[in-house]
Amino acid sequence: MRTLLLAAMLASPALAVFNAVIQGRGLKEFLDKTPELASSLDLENFKKVVGRQMRAALGQAVLLLIAPVCFFWGLMIHSLTPGDFVWILLPSVVVILVARSFRSLELKAWAIPAANDYLIGERDRVVKVWRTKPLPDW
C-alpha cells in the first residue's frame, strides 16, 4: 500500500506540472498570434483560451489535493510516516516554480490591448470573470 500511495503522491504533481505547461503554452500561443483584440473573432478566441485556463485551474486544484489526501490516508492506516511529508513538499516546490514561470503570461493576457471601447469593455469583463469565478459565464 505504501508504494501505491507514494506513486499517487508523485504522479499527481507530475500531472499538475504537465497541466500547467500545456495551459501555459496555449496561452503563450494565443498571445503570440493575437497581440491585440482587434475584432469580435479575436474576442471569441480570447474567451475560448480563458475558458480553458479556468477549467484547467479547477483540474489543477483537484490534482494538487490528491497528494495531501493520500498522505493523510497513509498516516491513518499506518502505511506512511510523518517523514513521508517530503514526498509532498519537494514536488510541490516544482509545481509552484512552474506555475510562477507562466504568471507573466497571465498578466499580459489580463492587459491585452483592445482596438475599441466595446472590445476593451468585453476584455475587462472576461478578465474579471477569470480572476473571480471558478467557471466562465459568457
pTM for the whole thing?
0.86
Angle 86-101/40-76 helices, nearest 10 degrees?
170
Write the pLDDT tens digit of every residue in 51-107.
999 999 999 999 999 999 999 999 999 999 999 999 999 999 999 999 999 999 999
Please state, in angstroms and rounded to a whole number, the distance separating the CA atoms of residues 20 and 26.
Answer: 10
Taking every pair of Cα atoms in the chain, the longest distance, rounded to a whole number of angstroms, is 62
Per-residue pLDDT tens for 6-30?
Answer: 999 999 999 999 999 999 999 999 9
